[in-house]
Amino acid sequence: MGKLKKSRIVACLIAILAVAAIAILIINTDFETVDEHASNASKEALESVTDGISVSILINYSTVFNNYDNLSDGVKNAGILRDDGVLLDKTTVVIEKGKSVYDLLEYVCRVNDIAIEYNGSTYVQGIGYLYEYDCGPVSGWMYKVNGIFPRDACGDYIIEDGDEVEWRYTCTSS
């Protein structure tokens, strides 16, 4: 065998080994989408909170069932409403001190893959594809902290350890 033929065989073997190594790397890699990466990064960031506070959050739209006639056909036909009127069951999370009600909502929606839409800085227009005005001219999302509807914008209200936050969809006659 000539020297040139041996070098070609060696080059082919190296190429085959390189392809095999890449194939093994791809098979053993856990790929994730950009959204999954962002969600996982958020989870990891909050799981690493050492000076955090524990708060609970619930997202509820049960009032739409008492006002079903006012509900937009788009929402009625979209199949987005659960029979119990709960978009997110009461969930307890640990979050950094100094975070607002909006920060908490944005975090739990991102982690639980719930759509959220806001206008301006932190005015919440929609959660889970249920938007303001979907159930009449004065319907929309409001929040309570420890059973009270604060006057502060959700981005201005700083939550404290042990707070219970509830986002509630309100309708014209509720």
Q: Which residues contact 53 (CB under 8 A, 6 or more apart)?
A: 94, 95, 96, 97, 159, 160, 161, 162, 163
Higher pLDDT, 62 or 40: 62
> Per the structure block, which two tokens stand in for 166?
């509830």
pLDDT at 173 over 70: no
Angle separating helix axes 101-111 and 34-47, nearest 10 degrees = 130
What is the average per-residue pLDDT within 9-35?
Answer: 71
Q: What is the pLDDT of residue 7?
A: 77
Backbone phi, then psi, for 42, in 5-degree steps?
A: -65, -45
This prediction has a pTM of 0.69
What is the average per-residue pLDDT within 49-70?
Answer: 86
Higher pLDDT, 97 or 73: 97
> Per the structure block, which two tokens stand in for 75?
């929402």
What is the average per-residue pLDDT within 6-21?
Answer: 78
Q: How sure is the predictor about 24, in pLDDT bands with cuts at 50, 70 and 90?
A: confident
Q: Which residues contact 129 (CB under 8 A, 6 or more apart)?
A: 75, 78, 80, 115
Q: What is the pLDDT of residue 174?
A: 43
Higher pLDDT, 58 or 77: 58
- The chain-wide mean pLDDT, for the chain, equals 83
What is the average per-residue pLDDT within 115-124?
Answer: 84
pLDDT at 38 over 80: no
Q: What is the pLDDT of residue 31?
A: 57
What are the pLDDT digits (tens) for 121-159?
A: 678 999 998 999 988 888 999 999 999 999 999 999 999
What is the four-CA torsion angle of 85, 92, 151, 143, rounded to 10 degrees?
-10
